[in-house]
Chain A
Amino acid sequence: MEKVYAGKTVSVDKDGYLTDLSQWNKDIAIEIGKEEGIDEVTDKHFEVLAYLQDQHKKEVALSIRSVGKSGVVDIKQLYELFPKGPLKISSRMAGIPRPKSCI
């Protein structure tokens, strides 16, 4: 499927997650953030998104606990930055897929 964010057409899956990280840019993150109820996307938000993108590129499985241990942000901060479902929301804003299992 395709969707337009910040004037750019990107491919997304049925849940609105970008299917191609190379199509991502910061403006897209801001618009997705608005959809998720995050009105202001700060530098700290972008720090977390950059960390998630890096982990994704390294094919490292993500979890709230592992992000909380990353040194970039602790779990309390993570919930403050991305309220209600932080991993779901931050993954979507970062343009990476939701954490998946084998099945």
Chain B
Amino acid sequence: MKSLVILGAGTAGTMMASHLKKELNKSEWEITIVDQHKTHYYQPGFLFLPFDTYKPEDVKKTIDEFIPKGVKLIREKIDVIDKDSDTVVLEGGKKLKYDILIIATGTKTAPGEVKGILGDYWYKSIFDFYTYEGALALRDKLRVWKGGKLVIHITEMPIKCPVAPLEFAFLADSFFIKKGMRDKVEITYVTPLSAAFTKEKSAATLGYMLKEKGIKIVTDFAIEHADGKNGKIVEYGGEEVPFDLLVTIPTNMGDELMARSGFGDDMNYVPTDKNTLQTKVKENIFAIGDCTNVPASKAGSVAHFQAEILTENILLYIKGKALKPDFDGHANCFIETGHGKALLIDFNYEYEPVEGKFPFPVVGPLSLLRESRLNHWGKLAFRWIYWNMLLPARKLPFVTPKMSKAGKNFN
């Protein structure tokens, strides 16, 4: 009996378990998945929790219910990967020998990386919404907040879901308008990048949005520390941005498991081939989702497209055949823009988001890089698709793992 071990039962890990259970011969392969947690969160839902658009129950289910029958789930913390002996060591001391290892441990926020974020003002005037607890604490604050300077801030790239901070700014604008208090709130978006929209077509098409919504922007801001007492964030160059309520996206790092195991870059991401998803650590170790260092966005849709291609490559690897460098960095993401509308962007390593229709040319029905109500409904409907189609690895009709050029306006 050969052994395939998956580390992490989040979006990517669960999808791989579902795919491989269908493809691998059960008399030849035992599939094991390891995750210390009990809860499977629908992370795109965290954006909606602070605004009371989703309830807590809407974004969580159990990890167990999505693990296919026949796949062994071990609920334990992973201590280290010993690549030389093809063994995963769990915290309790148990050892899992593997023939093939798939790392799917994701990325998480590290708020301690910036001085002044954690401490006396954390969850009082300084919040983040990238965790379930953080999003709910922010919800409680927004329910009673009387107004002032709201600063939405990104510490450094890469982050998972790179558009979420912008979405938060847009949703905050609508939220306060609806509450009849928008004039009491000053919203500022602070980014380490040089613009809110850094890609040419996006900047041209959407550049008006921030101005139209009265959202101020501060660019090239590299945060040095947060001063909760005096309500300001301070840049290495000395620039200061005052706040009454700070919503920060902390540094996103991969799991410390990588550091303990002796591989991983300085942010704990796994060095991985960007097209085959085989890691550069050892040929029988693969990686998928947010934990890799590939230059694709860290997003659920990316993990979904990667899963289809990685499954194929695992099967090729087992047969001793050459892997296909088929992953093209494809991402497909909805972006909430407020007032019941959203954008859809579809792009990959080579092509930036452009206007057009998706998935079918002309008829769409979804519009690329343009606001529409249908896109907003698409984003909300996506939650059902996530639980019922993506996680169980059911094929999504009309959406291909490689980005399609059909329907896109490239000129």
**Bound: A103/B344 CA distance, A:** 11
| A75 near B220: Cβ-Cβ < 8 Å | no
A26 to B162, CA, bound (A): 34
Within 30-73 of A, Cβ neighbours of B (below 8 Å) are at 59-61, 63-66, 69
Q: How many chain B residues touch the partner (CB < 8 A)?
A: 36
Q: How far is the CA of A63 from the CA of B113 in the complex (A)?
A: 14
Contact between A61 and B220 (Cβ–Cβ < 8 Å)? no
Which of B197, B236, B294, B297 has a CB less than 8 Å from the CB of A64?
B236
On whether A65 and B353 interact (CB within 8 A), knowing A59-B295, A98-B194, A102-B331, the answer reads no
Among residues of A, the one whose C-beta sits closest to the C-beta of B161 is A102
With A84-B237, A103-B197, A103-B335 in contact, is A65–B156 under 8 Å at CB? yes
Which A residues touch B163, using CB under 8 A? 101-103
Task: Pick from A60, A64, A65: contact of B293, CB below 8 A.
Answer: A60
**Chain A residues near B220 (CB-CB < 8 A):** 85, 87-88
Which residues of B come within 8 Å of A, CB atoms? 113, 155-158, 162-163, 166, 192-194, 197-199, 202, 206, 220, 222, 224, 236-237, 251, 265-267, 274, 293-295, 297, 331, 333, 335, 345, 347, 353
The reply to whether B266 and A69 contact each other, CB–CB distance below 8 Å, is yes
Give 6 A-B contacts (CB < 8 Å), ordered by A residue. A64-B222, A69-B266, A99-B193, A101-B162, A102-B162, A102-B345
* Residues in chain B near residue A102, CB distance under 8 A: 162-163, 199, 297, 331, 333, 345, 347, 353
Q: How many residues of A contact B (CB 8 A)?
A: 23
Closest beta carbon of chain A to B263's beta carbon, Å? 15
B residues less than 8 Å from A85 (CB atoms): 220, 237
Contacting residues, chain A, for B266 (C-beta < 8 A): 66, 69
Distance A56 CA – B158 CA, assembled complex (angstroms): 14
**CB atoms of A61 and B237 under 8 A apart:** no
Using CB atoms, name the residue of chain B closest to A98: B194
Provide the residues of chain B in CB contact with A75, threshold 8 Å: 222, 224, 236
In the complex the two chains form, what is the Cα distance from A100 to B194 in whole Å? 8
Given A63-B156, A66-B156, A86-B237, list of 11 further CB < 8 A pairs? A61-B295, A64-B156, A65-B156, A66-B267, A69-B266, A75-B222, A84-B237, A85-B220, A87-B220, A99-B198, A103-B199
Tell me if B157 and A99 are in contact (CB < 8 A).
Answer: yes
In whole angstroms, how far apart are the Cα atoms of A39 and B41 in the complex? Answer: 53
Given contacts A61-B158, A87-B222, contact A101 B345 (CB under 8 A): no
Residues in chain B near residue A66, CB distance under 8 A: 156, 266-267
